[in-house]
Chain A
């Protein structure tokens, strides 16, 4: 640790201790009322710290914590009235509240969001009514009075001593929270919150992590309640109304969830606020409600969260390899890394997604699983990774049977994976994403740091090994696409896997990045890891695979060496569909020169630095225009700006000579511009039919039946699925649906953003054939695709974007021949998205 880092590590605990000392001193010196209010602030802060674990770390909301507060208070009250010493009752209250929290968490955490909120609300009501009805124990609605004050070393605690005790408890709570947040448990909670699925694949058991968060938060509420009882010398059900739960949660949210001092700030506002307003008597609640709204409006992310925006600085230090031997770290030791998958199959609702799939993945070899979209490749990965339980068959890793084992166990057994859409822990830093995986699910103590200097060195070396050159302190959610792929691989390697599953790692990458990726995968395999790759890029697959398995409709149709597969007629028919190509226009385009769509000096971006600068392009009626460029060059930003999804923009956008630069997306859509967005973005819960109907929404949806019938002729794959939910379609089918939906608008111009992304070669051919047909029928098209050669083949003209600027434009055929084009792809990419 550098001195600066050490100083930072001790700054927070020191601040907590200083604040506690000052508050305790004040409590000990001041008169009656002030220490009492201070005690209330401290107790609210303690409950807030507990809730902060739940809300700020684990991302769950509870509206029932007053129930645990009441349990703590009643425990202390009942036990001390029975003659048990307060100093025994106090910890017991925490234990009992924690135990009940644990019992409630088991069922409660099966649900989430509003459902969990409801379970906790119900819990609070049950506790309140229970306290009223269990009269023998609780004294009923009129409560328990004449509680005894705690005594320590002969000193009877009056309000001052109680206030000091409350402040000390708050200080200890804050310290604990600070330690917890930095511990592997705290990081694990955040990981589960950010991406539960990915958390399982780094060996975390979300049930345990979330239950721990819930039970811990209950402990703090219980401990605070135990002090509440002797402080007030009285407990009754009315002291714990449901509204108090809301105030507790409010303290956390207003203060800033996830910030160490958030609950303190929130407690001050929610306790001292009403006290300052007390002379308003009957108007107090009215004003307090208004005050809360003002605070929420001014600081929607909580006071601390909003303040932090002004001071946040990012450390841009990249990962340092520091001479650590990554090879020795990653290289599996001991038993063989042979993964044997034999005869696995699974059906969803009677539909067989995979049947009798068998293959072997050997240590040091790359085994690729290919096949058309919807062939069941990801399903197979999910069975191997433990996310689906296969209906039959076995999955053995070095003699250990893993079929049906939960994902976190599979991960701990040595099978790591990455995802089709990257699933990083978005709010954790890049380094922490790797560090949490390094623990392979073992979380250790709740109060020790998640990682020591040695762990950090390993993590940095892994990041350097995969070729990540960005800052290690940056939040993973802010990474550009390429980098998030790399970090995800580094995270998987941190598990020291014997088997590495990769789900379309090259999707959305440019050629140069793909080449780097294939070298990386080869290096990983050479270390002795068994690599299993699902990928559509045939150049990559054929280049690095040792063995290829081909699936179609859930059934393996071929397996063998790349060379054998490449020439297998069954594979060519089902999947490869011959060489990927697109059909150019038969005769050069010649039409009106009056453009349908013009952008003039279009400048746009998401933050301070513009992603697009002075982009000027035009599309004429009936023309097909391609925009090509490297990742991050601004292609998608162009599409989002033109379609109105990104506002505000500078410069001018004209559609049919009408300015649309200041119009919102829905108005632009109604003016006759349809965007087929990147990543299909169909409405997953609606049927295919309804998706199509909505496509015509922008023009009032006339004649939908006959139009849909016409579209189904063009997209025959959709016909069988017409009444099924769109979310259940394969990627290729979703892309077809998305285009069909765009065409339903009968637009003046249709924009397609990365239509080939994640599609199988045969489907890509089909797709580009459809684009060519549309083009030939006179549809005006603006196309962005990372498969630049294909895009230029189908297009009439093209624009080349580089770092947000148009650097070349011209006839598509000419651009396709241009040697300089290469430069745009290798890209001098500073303006990352």
Chain B
């Protein structure tokens, strides 16, 4: 039972990490930059969802759609205001700018949404069902499915469609991509919008299992970044799988060795894994000619 519940907990959490990490993946493969306020985007999704669905009482589908749309708009703002002005000059200050953007958003939400954590009710997280002796909310089963589904979609888009190839071309050679008629700026902006929308979706999915508050995303954001890196950031599958592995390791370490050393062990594993596999589990070394 210990193992079963650890595995189910781990997979559920892991797919959350994976989902947010896919957001890092999307912007990285298109623009070689990432949005360090992904955690805040996740929080934004949950907060907006709560506001629309619970506070304002709108129908759930509408609330979800609108939340995701606004999260995507946040991504657009991040790209326009926090990434592009720096990335276009070859400066890496976008790293700091997105962090600062996250701080601003977290605090702005703190004073508008409120300081108290709120509960996001969901029919999928009320009655646990029993699987191999472990109690599980149906939502916990939905989350990995959504995660894997999105990884599959991203994989197909990037590897099977012309649009996906065009997006991949942008990062490899932006000028050449423009010569192919690809609107590079639009592509990068869209990648950020997808990225924050994915984080927002993660926030909406996790909210009923967790709670909604202004800094719910911080630790998730960091862990998701670890997951993205471990997975090799350039592979959607790798990132999702790394998320599941990360969640599993976390739950199993806690189950077998106790919670005291979970973070120490997990972060040590991150370092060791990167030492052994400098490109992550599934990353591929870029073509590099001397």
Q: Which residues of A contact B (CB under 8 A)?
A: 61, 107-108, 110-111, 114-115, 117-119, 121-123, 125-126, 129-130, 133, 197, 242, 246, 249-250, 253-254, 282-283, 285-286, 288-290, 292-293, 296-297, 300-302, 378, 382, 387, 419, 643-645, 664-667, 669-670, 674-675, 677, 681-686, 690, 693-695, 697-699, 701, 725, 727-728, 741, 745
- Give 7 closest A-B pairs by Cβ, nearest first: A698-B181, A727-B287, A289-B103, A665-B178, A669-B181, A286-B107, A289-B104
- Kindly identify which residue among A197, A677, A725 contacts B179, using a CB–CB cutoff of 8 Å: A677
If over half of B's interface residues share one DSSP class (helix, strand or loop), that class is named, otherwise mixed; here it is helix
27 interchain pairs, CB-CB under 8 A: A107-B275, A111-B274, A111-B275, A115-B274, A118-B226, A118-B229, A122-B270, A125-B222, A133-B264, A242-B222, A246-B96, A250-B96, A282-B110, A289-B104, A290-B100, A293-B97, A293-B101, A300-B85, A378-B290, A665-B179, A666-B180, A670-B181, A682-B173, A683-B172, A684-B172, A694-B182, A745-B181
Known: A666-B183, A686-B165. A286 touches B233 (CB 8 A): no
- Residue of A whose beta carbon sits closest to that of B175: A645
Asked if residues A694 and B95 are in contact (CB atoms below 8 Å), the reply is no
A354 to chain B, nearest CB (A): 14
Q: Which B residues are within 8 Å of any A CB, using their own CB?
A: 28, 34, 81-82, 85-86, 89, 91-93, 95-97, 99-101, 103-104, 107-108, 110-111, 162, 165-166, 168-169, 172-173, 175-184, 222, 225-226, 229, 233, 260-261, 263-264, 267-268, 270-272, 274-275, 278-280, 286-287, 289-290
Given contacts A61-B95, A115-B229, A133-B260, contact A666 B222 (CB under 8 A): no
**Taking the nearest CB of chain A, how far is it from the CB of B163, in angstroms?**
9
Q: Which residue of A lies closest to B165 (CB)?
A: A690
CB distance from B253 to the nearest CB of A (A): 13
CA distance in complex: A387, B289 (Å)? 11
A694 touches B166 (CB 8 A): yes
Name A684's closest neighbour in chain B (CB-CB): B287
Contact (Cβ within 8 A) A114 B229: yes
**Which of A292, A378, A387 makes the CB contact (< 8 A) with B100?**
A292
**CB proximity of A751 to chain B, nearest CB, Å:** 9
Q: Which residue of A lies closest to B99 (CB)?
A: A246
Task: Decide: B176 and A126 in contact? CB cutoff 8 A.
Answer: no
Are the C-beta atoms of B270 and A118 separated by less than 8 Å? yes
**Which B residues lie within 8 Å of A110 (CB)?**
274-275, 278
> Inside 8 A of A254's CB, which chain B residues have their CB?
96
Report yes or no: B179 in contact with A645, Cβ–Cβ below 8 A. Answer: yes
Q: Write out the residue numbers on chain B whose beta carbons fall within 8 Å of the beta carbon of A684.
A: 172-173, 286-287
A741 to B177, CA, bound (A): 11
Docked CA distance A466–B26 (Å): 48
CB pair A121 B264 closer than 8 Å: no
Distance from B118 Cβ to chain A, minimum over Cβ atoms (Å): 19
* Bound: A174/B110 CA distance, A: 40
Q: How far is the CA of A640 from the CA of B97 in the complex (A)?
A: 32
A679→B108 CA distance, assembly (Å)? 48
Choose one: B34, B100, B166, B176; the contact of A677 (CB below 8 Å). Answer: B176
Which chain A residue lies CB-closest to B280? A115
Smallest CB separation, B227 vs chain A (Å): 10
Does A694 contact B162, Cβ atoms closer than 8 Å?
yes
Q: Which residue of B lies closest to A294 (CB)?
A: B100
Smallest CB gap from A744: residue in B: B180
Assess whether A683 is in contact with B173, with CB atoms less than 8 Å apart.
yes
Known A108-B271, A125-B263, A300-B85; 8 more pairs at CB < 8 Å? A111-B275, A122-B226, A122-B270, A126-B271, A296-B97, A682-B176, A683-B172, A685-B287
CA distance A123 to B263 in the complex (A): 11
Enumerate chain B residues within 8 angstroms of A665, measured Cβ to Cβ: 175, 178-179
* A107-B275, A683-B168, A683-B176 known; A728+B287 contact, CB < 8 A: yes
Pick the residue among B81, B101, B162, B290 that contacts A693 (CB under 8 A). B162
Which of the residues A61, A419, A670, A701 comes within 8 Å of B162, measured between beta carbons?
A701
Question: Contacts of B289 on A, CB cut-off 8 Å?
Answer: 378, 727
Let me know if A300 and B91 touch, CB within 8 A: yes
With A114-B233, A119-B274, A644-B178 known as contacts, the answer to whether A685 contacts B96 (CB < 8 A) is: no
Give, as a whole number of angstroms, the nearest-CB distance from B192 to chain A. Answer: 16
**Closest Cβ–Cβ distance, residue B89 to chain A (whole Å):** 6
- A666 to B278, Cβ gap below 8 A? no
Contact of A293 among B82, B182, B270 (CB under 8 A): B82
Which among B92, B99, B180, B267 has the greatest number of chain A C-beta atoms within 10 A?
B180
Min C-beta distance of A667 to chain B, whole Å: 8
Contacts of B179 in A (CB 8 A): 643, 645, 665-666, 669, 674-675, 677, 681
Please name all residues of chain A whose beta carbon is closer than 8 Å to the beta carbon of B176 when the two chains form the complex.
677, 681-683
Residues of A within 8 Å of B91, CB to CB, are: 300-301
Interchain CA distance A197-B96 in the complex, whole Å:
29
The answer on a CB contact under 8 Å between A669 and B96 is no
Partner of B225, one of A121, A249, A645: A121
Please indicate the chain A residues that have their CB under 8 angstroms from the CB of B103 in the complex: 285-286, 288-289, 292
B172 neighbours in A (Cβ, 8 Å) = 683-686
Tell me the minimal C-beta distance from A68 to chain B in angstroms. Answer: 15
Contact of A300 with B168 in the complex, beta carbons under 8 Å: no
Task: Find B178's partner among A115, A289, A645, A695 (CB 8 Å cutoff).
Answer: A645
Nearest A-chain residue to B28, judged by Cβ: A114
A378 to B288, CA, bound (A): 13
For A296, the chain B residues whose CB sits under 8 A away are 86, 93, 96-97, 100
Q: Are B108 and A286 in contact (CB under 8 A)?
A: yes
Q: Is the CB of A125 within 8 A of B267?
A: yes
In the assembled complex, the Cα of A685 lies from the Cα of B96 at a distance in Å of 29
Give Cα distance in the complex from A125 to B280, angstroms. 20
> Once the chains bind, are A300 and B287 in contact (CB under 8 Å)?
no
Give Cα A301–Cα B96 distance, bound, in whole angstroms: 12
B271: which A residues are within 8 A, CB to CB?
107-108, 119, 122-123, 126
CB contacts (< 8 Å) of A282 on chain B: these are 110-111
A293 touching B28, Cβ below 8 Å? no
Contacts of B93 in A (CB 8 A): 253, 296, 300-302
* Residues A300 and B86 in contact in the complex (CB < 8 Å), given A121-B225, A197-B290, A690-B165: yes
Please indicate the chain B residues that have their CB under 8 angstroms from the CB of A117 in the complex.
95
State the CA gap A249–B183 with chains docked (Å).
Answer: 33
In the complex, what distance in Å separates the CA atom of A300 from the CA atom of B176? 26
With both chains docked as a complex, state the minimum distance between the C-beta of A677 and any C-beta of chain B, in angstroms.
6
Q: Which residues of A contact B184 (CB under 8 A)?
A: 666
Which of chain B's residues has its CB closest to A286's CB? B107
Q: Determine the chain B residues whose CB is within 8 A of the CB of A129 once the complex forms.
A: 263-264, 267
Please give the distance in Å from A707's CB to the nearest CB on chain B.
13
User: Using Cβ atoms and an 8 Å threshold, which residues of chain B touch A701?
Assistant: 162
Cα separation A61 to B289 with both chains bound (whole Å): 25
Instruction: Tell whether, in the assembled complex, residue B181 and residue A293 are in contact, meaning their CB atoms are under 8 Å apart.
Output: no
Minimal Cβ-Cβ distance residue in A for B89:
A300
CA distance in complex: A667, B180 (Å): 9
Residues of chain A with a CB closer than 8 A to B34's CB = 114
Q: How far is the CB of A687 from chain B (nearest CB, A)?
A: 9
Which chain B positions have C-beta within 8 A of A115? 229, 274, 278-280
Q: Which of B177, B181, B260 has the most CB of A within 10 A?
A: B181
CA A693 – CA B168 in complex, angstroms? 13
Cα distance A59–B117 in the bound complex, in angstroms: 41
Q: Are A382 and B268 in contact (CB under 8 A)?
A: no
Distance between A733 CB and nearest chain B CB, rounded to angstroms: 13
Q: B97 near A694 (CB under 8 angstroms)?
A: no
Residues of chain A lying within 8 A (CB to CB) of residue B229: 114-115, 118
Tell whether, in the assembled complex, residue B165 and residue A289 are in contact, meaning their CB atoms are under 8 Å apart.
no
Closest to A291 in B: B100
Interface pair B267/A122, CB less than 8 Å apart: yes
Closest A residue to B29 by beta carbon equals: A685
Residue of A nearest to B233 (CB): A114
CA distance A121 to B36 in the complex (A): 13
Contact, CB under 8 Å: A118 / B274:
yes
* A685 contacts across to B, CB distance below 8 A: 168, 172, 286-287
A110 to B285, CA, bound (A): 13
* Residue with the highest number of chain A CB atoms closer than 10 Å, among B34, B89, B100, B222: B100
Question: Cβ of B267: which chain A residues have Cβ within 8 Å of it?
Answer: 122-123, 125-126, 129
